[in-house]
Structure 1
């Protein structure tokens, strides 16, 4: 049995994605309304700006993670790449390198890490779970060795100031989400490469028989995921003003959760760019509201876990009814 890459299949996928996104937006609005009623501090300008900053970095991670999950893979290393990227960019800036060059080198480093994951999967036959888990552990250790377990302070005022400023009343960090999301949307939903990713996640052998280079798409997916993590690492270093290898711990799980809540199927071949973005801000809103209401942080994890279970369960039902 083979799966053809047809315009009809693409159109059906887009319609489902659009309807699911509307549902998520409705849920996000409902949560915001409920929190606005529950606490007067939620709907303030300062809190909304803080919420946008909180959700921006996980949103970009979720976009990258989505590319990988669509291919029926997983990337557990993105949190470690974030922490390692803060160390790299901070060390380069501290050494006197121009900020723009330090950022470019950090992003290239992230891309190469993604290619290494793809090499392990394609050439060595390692499961995505294993190769990315190994990188997660290794990058933490390498970063700690590079810094001797300490932090690297970033003294470049313009680099640090970027994360704290706004443009047109919107935080710069949120604008970074737009800058990443627009080309990601074009790539995934409006180009042949996006169709190829879905085909690989649906049936790699059928995709190969249709003329798709499956190894090439694996390299692209993991390269984009790791580069998104490197972008987040640069953003985090700018926001905190330091490089520390332990930063971003557990963010890989938040990225996966945002992607799944946004409608990405862990079984592959189903996902979008806008869904994980909304999912990330749903989680950020829940976390923000819980903090304002002085709810125990443990409950936030329980709520996130419950949302994942419910959505994956309904995804399984949808797959059985196909």
Structure 2
């Protein structure tokens, strides 16, 4: 019989590198992308381009924070792009009809929450797979947006609402500030609050969490509510930045969001999530898109790159980093 021995404690540097392998790897990859695109075109590091990059990345970042919670529970939300399109179009229609922006904005957040409650109920309480529910939402919700707009873009009259997407504070775009605030809030909730620990516990083993008294079903439902709310917030940012609403807005956004979250190190199997990694992942997706455009490469090529990134990230999740985790447990 082999005697049990505790794993010897390694150096602090080694333990730090192993613990934060996911975040460090995406940080290194992001830095490499920035240096590469900066070498191709010096305009990449110009102040104007960097601020524009932050402005464009903010909707993806806002939704990705919510998606981090969803995926940490072991779920998925494919409807976020369609929610953005519906809220985007509905807000534009109401603003064009003369409604005040400070009335429309909370109404749209409530609409996003309502969609999240509806989908979360079927996922958490009716036990229908999240993939199926949100796939149906992806189609049906965008269909509602198409019915509302007739397929046309809806111009938003000039108002203070547009400053949400176009304004700045001390030179920093308002969308970037919103994205940073959402990311900070997500980090605090996931890492320091009871709710965040419950999200991780439910993702690791929902039945075990339920048996120890955690409201597992309520936690699962709640993450889809937050996904709907933050998708609605992202929709308002997009509408204010473009000055219009369209049922064709945010096509493919769910792909970018999932890529950002998975690339950042959140486990698709659930139980492990990282907001810092999600922020770096969202910035990486935006840097690739921005850099390819500055390199005069067809914008549609970014879809191929994004798909390749998702595949690589999943491979790293299931092979390399899981192996590192098993070594640490020995």
Q: Secondary structure at the match of 1:297?
A: coil
Q: Distance in 2 between matches of 1:192 and 1:141?
A: 38
**What runs of 5+ residues in structure 2 fail to find an aligned partner?**
1-15
Identify the residue that residue 297 of structure 1 maps to in structure 2: 299
Q: Secondary structure at the match of 1:121?
A: helix
Further displaced range: 42-51 or 251-260: 42-51
Of residues 205, 216, 229 in structure 1, which corresponds to 2:207? 205
How far off its partner does 1:34 sit?
Answer: 2.0
Q: Secondary structure at the match of 1:96?
A: coil
How far off its partner does 1:298 sit?
Answer: 4.3
How far off its partner does 1:16 sit?
Answer: 6.2
CA contact (8 A) 2:90 2:148 kept: no
How far off its partner does 1:18 sit?
Answer: 4.3
Structure 1 residues 182 and 247 mapped into 2: Cα distance closer, same or farther (>3 Å)?
same
Identify the residue that residue 103 of structure 2 maps to in structure 1: 101
CA deviation profile, 1:140-186 (whole Å, cap 9, x unmatched): 11111112222221103321233222212211110011221122111
CA contact (8 A) 1:51 1:284 kept: yes
Identify the residue that residue 226 of structure 2 maps to in structure 1: 224
CA deviation profile, 1:241-283 (whole Å, cap 9, x unmatched): 1111110111011100010011111111111112111101111
Of residues 260, 267, 270 in structure 2, which corresponds to 1:268? 270
Write the mapping of 1:80-159 to structure 2, written as runs, cut at 5 A: 80-159=82-161
**What runs of 5+ residues in structure 1 fail to find an aligned partner?**
1-13
Further displaced range: 173-182 or 89-98: 89-98
Q: Distance in 1 between matches of 2:95 and 2:201?
A: 42
CA deviation profile, 1:110-167 (whole Å, cap 9, x unmatched): 0111111111112322110111111111111111111222222110332123322221
Q: Distance in 2 between matches of 1:249 and 1:70?
A: 24
Q: Secondary structure at the match of 1:222?
A: helix
Q: Secondary structure at the match of 1:60?
A: helix
Q: Distance in 1 between matches of 2:17 and 2:30?
A: 20
Further displaced range: 77-86 or 138-147: 138-147
Of residues 31, 36, 39 in structure 2, which corresponds to 1:37? 39
TM-score in terms of structure 1 length: 0.91
CA contact (8 A) 2:165 2:239 kept: no
Q: Distance in 2 between matches of 1:15 and 1:177?
A: 27
CA deviation profile, 1:174-231 (whole Å, cap 9, x unmatched): 0011221122111111101111101111111111112111111012111111111100
Of residues 64, 68, 88 in structure 2, which corresponds to 1:62? 64
Identify the residue that residue 237 of structure 1 maps to in structure 2: 239
Q: Distance in 1 between matches of 2:32 and 2:249?
A: 32
Q: Secondary structure at the match of 1:126?
A: coil
Supply the RMSD in Å over aligned alpha carbons: 1.9
Q: Distance in 2 between matches of 1:297 and 1:255?
A: 18
Identify the residue that residue 250 of structure 2 maps to in structure 1: 248
CA contact (8 A) 1:70 1:270 kept: yes
CA contact (8 A) 2:93 2:154 kept: yes
How far off its partner does 1:25 sit?
Answer: 2.3
CA contact (8 A) 1:93 1:156 kept: no
Instruction: Specify the structure having the higher radius of gyration (Cα).
Output: 2
Q: Distance in 2 between matches of 1:18 and 1:57?
A: 26
Structure 1 residues 255 and 16 mapped into 2: Cα distance closer, same or farther (>3 Å)?
farther
Q: Distance in 1 between matches of 2:18 and 2:165?
A: 35
CA contact (8 A) 1:106 1:230 kept: yes
Q: Distance in 2 between matches of 1:316 and 1:162?
A: 40
